[in-house]
Structure 1
Amino acid sequence: MRVLRWCLALSSIAGVLALPAAASAQGGLSIKKTGFGAVNDQAVAKYTLSNRHHVSASIITYGGILQSVRVPDRRGKLANVTLGFSDIRGYTSPAYVKSNPYFGAIIGRYGNRIAKGRFALDGNQYSLDINNDPNSLHGGYGGFNTKLWAATQVRTSKTVGLKLTYTSPAGEGCMTNLASTPPCTTGFPGTVPVTVVYTLDNNDNLRIGYTATTNAPTVLNLTNHAYWNLAGEGSGTIYDQQLKLNADRYTPVDSTLIPTGTLARVSGTPMDFRKFHSIGARIRDNFQQLVFGRGYDHNWVLNRKGNSTGLVQAAVLRDPGSGRVLTMSTDQPGIQFYSGNFLDGTLYGARGRQYREGDGLALETQHFPDSPNHSNFPSTVLRPGQIYRTATVLKFSVEHGH
């Protein structure tokens, strides 16, 4: 199965050990648990992973959300570089639920869009929530971003981390009590136990590893939806920050942001990020794909040598002002670059700053959107007896000038 050939086993998972409930440290690595409010009378916890360079990542059990990532700039000044809120009320407010930007969340069962919320598998037809009219997006109204995940503190000899678990029941992805036109009837098939492990090391690598199984044939496409602003959360737009993508091709979309099925060359278009480009330099060009997305909201096809299935560099994002650099590597076939086009100023982040269009960007490592409806795309089918494994590594560093 092609989806498994894209997967990379999480290193040393068999040797993961449970940590005590209190903060534990080894070699400058530590984890701290604090409260983060409650959802439906269920407590939400925040776990903060830290290393000896004072890099930290905070994860909350609601949605498995990456709530804060603090890294130094070229002068050693720390800042949170991911969009989010300082307490659970931000993630459950009416304004957030209405706009639903998925800040930092684990996305499932299916990251990105499925056309008209419909797909066929083994001769059976399945229907999903239409929550991004006319399509299904990120698992529907009750996706993984809305679930309370069970958490266990973990470590290896060189990392500290957090293991999150959630079992997705058969039929998830179809909330019949909510308006969906046409109405959904089945949801995703199969019961799917999912494990997501965040780990941090002293080399400033934050790794996200995903594992899942199923008791019936299904489709699965997991990712994380963090929004990045390397100048600091709430500091303004990301248009002057520079992006490089390891991709010669992308998947063009129609006006509803569903791939047409073709793999188009980036050469000669504003989709060409093979060399660093400022994100805002071409975003207002009269290029049909940018018109459809109101900016960048597309999947790039990552370059690979031969049939390699391991980690490959997917993206490098850098901020000339602060010197901060984020390098993303993954075993997935694609990456969705979304330039925050639908942030509309109704949300105020962790520092009380307004989030407007372009104030953050998402880089979602993934299989291609709408893959269940495109036989020429890498398969997202998972069958009983198979194990879904995939990993993405976020490397933080600093440039002192270029």
Structure 2
Amino acid sequence: MSIICESFGAIDGQTVDRFTLSSDSGIEAQIITYGGALVSLRAPDRHGQQGDVVVGFDTLTPYLNNPAYIGSLIGRFANRIANGAFSLGGTTYHLARNHGGHHLHGGLTGFDKVIWRARPISDAAEPALELTYFSRDGDEGYPGNLNVTVTYMLTGDGALRIDYLATTDRATVVNLTHHAYFNLSGSGNILRHELQLFADHFLPVDASLIPTGEIRAVHGTVMDFTTPTPIGARIPHDDEQIRHALGGYDHTWIIDGAAGALRRAARLVDPASGRVLDVLTTHPGIHLYTGNSLDGTLVARNGHVLTKHAALCLETQHFPDSPNHPQFPSTILKPGETYRHITVFRLSVE
């Protein structure tokens, strides 16, 4: 196992580094300090051939103009907050409105658009990289100074583990996630990938992709992934939720089991390559996004043109717009508390 650091470019006089983590299990991950982005995650297929299973770019420039949040860490609040506003402790906070009048993925300058401080953890049993960022009180309209630590680690069982920690000096809301785009084939689209979600309920959304507040059972709907199902099997259906998401999925499922416990959330299988991705998390939800807005203007590594459904995201997170839905699990972080969440992306073959 090893960790290698090299320059990946610079922005405004600040160097952006790329760290390559390699493990004895055959998994290799590359992370850059800009946006904490995962630029590469390589794993063998059923024939032992290494290949990239996430979308990434070979140069810094595409990450500087990254409207799809490809590979990036997301914060302070993943997903949407309706009308860019929420109330906390009797005060209404107004956030940046950067998506159709709503707040998305932390705003105009979210955690995906900053340079993180990096520290390889040399005394870890497995290769690990610690990233830290200090978000000042008032950033994008959020209250409180927030200290954030994200640790990437390759584990001996072929997984990329991500640990999130945050503390604040003033009550605020926090919902961190990772925006990796997976394609287990490494090219083409993901419509034949087979997905199983360990979730009996999902959150319906309105035409702006804001949760309505309803918690709906998946059984008998196009949202039913309780058994392995090809991603594209139900996308052609004339369903309101599919239409709201522009011809695909852009929804949050409620993971079965108690939030806070590390449990299985999703299993993704690519029949062509034999690669399997298991997703485990301590968070209450998992958001499936099937790349519905990818329009071919972005070209990733190896000439992979990012057209609609070229890749998908499995974002473990709290529910969208939680600060405005008291019935949803709380995203409030107070002084003296520590925000913690773990996500594991485990790769194997079948």
TM-score, normalising length: structure 2: 0.98
- Number of aligned residues: 349
CA contact (8 A) 2:26 2:158 kept: no
What percent of counterpart residues are identical? 48
The corresponding residue for 1:149 is 116
CA contact (8 A) 2:20 2:29 kept: yes
1:351 and 1:33 mapped to 2: Cα distance?
22
Q: Aligned ranges for residues 185-200 of structure 1 at < 5 Å?
A: 187-200=141-154
1:353 and 1:303 mapped to 2: Cα distance?
35
Q: CA deviation at 1:135?
A: 0.8
Please list the CA deviations of residues 317-366 of structure 1 after superposition, one character each: whole Å capped at 9, or x if unmatched.
01000000000000000000000000010011111221100000000000
1:337 and 1:48 mapped to 2: Cα distance?
27
The corresponding residue for 1:364 is 315
Q: CA deviation at 1:35?
A: 1.1
The corresponding residue for 2:29 is 57
The answer to whether residue 27 in structure 2 is matched with residue 73 in structure 1 is: no
CA contact (8 A) 2:259 2:282 kept: no
1:158 and 1:384 mapped to 2: Cα distance?
32
Q: Aligned ranges for residues 283-322 of structure 1 at < 5 Å?
A: 283-294=235-246, 295-304=248-257, 307=258, 309-322=260-273
**Which of the pair has more CA radius of gyration?**
1
1:390 and 1:159 mapped to 2: Cα distance?
19
CA contact (8 A) 1:154 1:160 kept: yes
1:269 and 1:32 mapped to 2: Cα distance?
47
2:323 alignment partner, SS class: helix
Q: Aligned ranges for residues 257-276 of structure 1 at < 5 Å?
A: 257-276=209-228
CA contact (8 A) 1:134 1:256 kept: no
Equivalent residue in structure 2 for 1:327, among 278, 289, 311:
278
1:84 and 1:51 mapped to 2: Cα distance?
20
More relative contact order, 1 or 2 (CA 8 Å, 6+ apart): 1
The corresponding residue for 1:182 is none
2:57 and 2:181 mapped to 1: Cα distance?
12
1:210 and 1:216 mapped to 2: Cα distance?
19
Amino acid at match of 1:297: D
The corresponding residue for 2:173 is 219
CA contact (8 A) 1:158 1:202 kept: no
2:89 and 2:259 mapped to 1: Cα distance?
28
CA contact (8 A) 2:249 2:289 kept: yes
Q: Aligned ranges for residues 336-375 of structure 1 at < 5 Å?
A: 336-375=287-326
* Structure 1 gaps, min length 5: 1-28, 174-186
1:382 and 1:131 mapped to 2: Cα distance?
24
Amino acid at match of 1:299: T
CA RMSD between the two structures: 1.0
Cα distance change on mapping 1:156 and 1:335 into 2, 3 Å: farther
Q: Aligned ranges for residues 121-270 of structure 1 at < 5 Å?
A: 121-173=88-140, 187-232=141-186, 235-270=187-222
Amino acid at match of 1:38: A
1:289 alignment partner, SS class: helix
Q: CA deviation at 1:309?
A: 2.6
Equivalent residue in structure 1 for 2:4, among 10, 24, 32:
32
Q: CA deviation at 1:367?
A: 0.3
* Greater mean deviation of Cα atoms: 289-298 or 148-157: 148-157
Question: Which consecutive aligned stretches of 4+ in structure 1 deviate over 3 angstroms post-superposition?
Answer: none
* Structure 2 gaps, min length 5: none
